[in-house]
Amino acid sequence: MKAPSLAKIEGVYSVAPETADSWRDAHGKAPFVRGPYEKMYQQKPWTIRQYAGFEGALETNAFFKRALSQGQTGLSVAFDLPTHLGFDSDHDLAAADVGRTGVAIDSVEDMAVLFDGIDLGNVSVSMTMNGAVLPIMACFIVAAEEQGVAPDKLSGTIQNDILKEYIARNTYIHSPDFSMGVVSDVVAYCSAHMPRFNSMSISGYHFQEAGASPELELALTMANARAYLTHFQQQGIDLEFVAKRLSFFFGLGMSFYKEVAKLRAARFLWSELLDEFSIRSENAKRLKMHCQTSGVSLTESSPLNNIVRTTIEAMAGVFGGTQSLHTNSYDEAISLPSDQASKVALETQFILQHETGIGDVVDPWGGSYMMESATQSMIEYVRTMQKNIETEGGVLALVASGQLTTFIHRQALQTAMDEEALNKKIVGKNCYQSPTSSPQHQRVIASDKTLLQQSKKLAQLKLKRDDGAVKRALQALQAAARSKQNLMPFTIDAIRVRATVGECIKALTDEASRYLKPEYIESAPFCTHLDADIVKRYQTLSSQLDRPLRFLIAKVGLDGHDRGAKVIVSLLRDLGIEVDYLPIFASIDDIIQQDAMCPYDGIGLSILSGAHIHFITQITQKIRTDCPIFVGGVIPTSDKNTLEKIGVEVVFTAKHSLNDIAISLYDTLVVATKI
């Protein structure tokens, strides 16, 4: 499938702007190009909703309370990877990742601590949860109930967007088929019992982070939105009623005009889509969105420059009319946000709201020929992509075959090549470089301590509870899955009697097993962008060896951010190396076994979750001593020395160019192959 080309946005326009007259339209009226509300931020400023979570519920609760006392207006929970994938903290596969990239929640007891002293009837809470959505929603509902807040008083959002997990984010558990049933169970339950709660946050953000352009991000998000509506309709769900509580989530990258245009176009397209489904409610047609500034646009070098990037991106969100906003912290290319960096990110929003006046005007770009053309080009692009997707069999078929993932992957490869060729300049990364200055403070996650605490709490919970009641509730949940009933009430019953998140998911995976999606890696002509000399040296090395070099690349643990790993696979293959790429979620034992079958010339591990020391210690203890190990990912400079001492040859991070990587690998391989 081919993507259409976007009519040029910055420069000469080829698309006659159908929306050029939109400036005459009223704000807050369908098709909402000019904003979802009449008075927008003059009536209510956007919600300042910083996504956060780390270690245990106690630590994250303290962070939330501090943020609220500093003026944040909504909450947004980041869960750790074991929680996302439905493993309790004491599960073998969870050990490395507990509390690292989010908060560890094993049961309703943890959820209660997470919101201790926070009135859930008053503060709206977003939860980024997709795979383990049933037990996490159930924990939230039961914790609120035990706090004295009934479901119908709860406001907030559950992400509950599984399609984008298969396409880009990778925290899915079951097959797409089973998971779509879970999505509709949550939507149906919320619409019946939680009228103030947004039952989905249909997300594009992760597509852009994985490599998609803003227009591809929008096209895939709208295609998914259509697929969900169609699915709900087939399930007999009343769209007129549920569509009001389907919200959206977009990324904000550095293509300033495109980002503003994207948000305007999104509102138009949603309104048009609901017309197609004959939905009349004006409120449903009003697309409401959360936006987050881009993580991938941030550089490791000169981290304070990231404050500038985040501010520009956030401004695009405000000009585009977002309802809720997360601004990233300047140190995110290095670690989870430190307290200092989180404070700057939060205060960036205060400055935008209180000092600049940019929110005083509704849709300030409306009527600009450039912006109307850009909005129109976005709309045209999405319509064409939609037709292409349908011709190829529709979203669900393309999700299952992995083709939408490949689409994004291709754009990531192109971006990597553009950066290498300096067609895309990134200050401090590929031009205007200066010596790397690490931020003064970095958040260090006490993962081992969190694991111990969580394991202790789980043991206590299991001693206290009525095991018979738990067993009966889990059996009922499993039977409900078999007979295709709405699983939400059964999960709530199980969580109420203190079943754990992991136990609920285990009951479901016994019925609908864990799933691994197919993975394809495209080739790309990287060598044309590298120094000719290095390309030649690889060729010479392999002719001296009289065989191709062989490499293994793997992601270990529960971290599914595979953009970087896949770029490296393509790069190495283009250098003539034979590369095996293991399916995500590999264990160190998987790698050892793979290497034992036919030893590799080198093994590269990609780790973005902060668990690098854990995994590298394990692999260096188990692997044969003459195997060079490389690591890539989000690795603080302070850990680089430790990793090299443990036995890693080279540590690669976001600041390395592909040429640097090719040279460093070569130098090590020459020594290792004893040529």
Positions marked catalytic: 51, 205-206, 555, 559, 561
Our finding on whether 27 is near ligand SCA (CB under 6 A) is: no
Task: Give the interface segment with ligand SCA, choosing from 8-16, 40-48, 412-420, 427-435 (CB under 6 A).
Answer: 40-48
Our finding on whether 54 is near ligand 5AD (CB under 6 A) is: yes
Min dist. Cβ of residue 267 to ligand SCA (A): 12
State phi, psi for 551 to the nearest 5 degrees: -135, 150
**Binding pattern to ligand 5AD, positions 75-104, x when CB under 6 A?**
---x----------------------xx--
Residue nearest to ligand 5AD (CB): 295
Our finding on whether 52 is near ligand 5AD (CB under 6 A) is: yes
Our finding on whether 633 is near ligand 5AD (CB under 6 A) is: no
Q: Which is nearer to ligand SCA, 128 or 255 (CB)?
A: 128
Between CA 10 and CA 265 the distance in angstroms is 16
Our finding on whether 199 is near ligand SCA (CB under 6 A) is: no
Task: Give the interface segment with ligand SCA, choosing from 107-115, 194-202, 510-518, 650-658 (CB under 6 A).
Answer: 194-202
Nearest to 538, CA basis, from 362, 673, 360: 673
DSSP codes, 74-118: EEEEEBPHHHHTT--TTSGGGGGGTTSSSB---SHHHHHHHTTTS
Sheet order of strands, 324-326 included? 197-198, 156-158, 125-128, 74-78, 47-52, 324-326, 289-293, 246-252, 200-203
Between CA 47 and CA 44 the distance in angstroms is 8
Place of tokens 């020929």: 369
Residue 53 interaction partner, one of ligand 5AD, ligand SCA, none, beta carbon < 5-8 Å per kind:
ligand 5AD
Min dist. Cβ of residue 362 to ligand SCA (A): 9
Nearest to 162, CA basis, from 180, 177, 178: 180
Roughly what angle, to the nearest 10 degrees, separates helices 658-672 and 563-574?
60
Q: Which is nearer to ligand 5AD, 160 or 171 (CB)?
A: 171
Residue 214 interaction partner, one of ligand SCA, ligand 5AD, none, beta carbon < 5-8 Å per kind:
none
Residue 290 interaction partner, one of ligand SCA, ligand 5AD, none, beta carbon < 5-8 Å per kind:
ligand SCA
CA distances from 498 to 135, 409, 463, 471, 480 (A): 11, 41, 11, 10, 19
Answer whether 584's CB lies under 8 Å from 562's CB. yes
Dmax (CA) of the chain: 74
Our finding on whether 142 is near ligand 5AD (CB under 6 A) is: no
User: Which residues neighbour 183 within 8 Å (Cβ) at sequence distance 6 or greater?
Assistant: 133, 160, 161, 162, 200, 228, 231
Residue 249 interaction partner, one of ligand SCA, ligand 5AD, none, beta carbon < 5-8 Å per kind:
ligand SCA
Our finding on whether 299 is near ligand 5AD (CB under 6 A) is: no
**Cis peptide preceding 435, ω within 30 of 0:** no
Q: Which is nearer to ligand SCA, 295 or 628 (CB)?
A: 295
Our finding on whether 29 is near ligand SCA (CB under 6 A) is: no
Our finding on whether 191 is near ligand SCA (CB under 6 A) is: no
Nearest to 196, CA basis, from 161, 151, 163, 232: 151
Between CA 141 and CA 115 the distance in angstroms is 12
Our finding on whether 332 is near ligand 5AD (CB under 6 A) is: yes
| Site of interaction with ligand SCA (CB under 6 A) | 37, 39-40, 43-44, 47, 49, 51, 74, 76, 78, 124, 126, 128, 157, 169, 196, 198, 201, 205-206, 247, 249, 288-290, 292, 323-324
> Where do contacts with ligand 5AD occur on this chain (CB under 6 A)?
51-54, 78, 101-102, 209, 295, 328, 332, 336-337
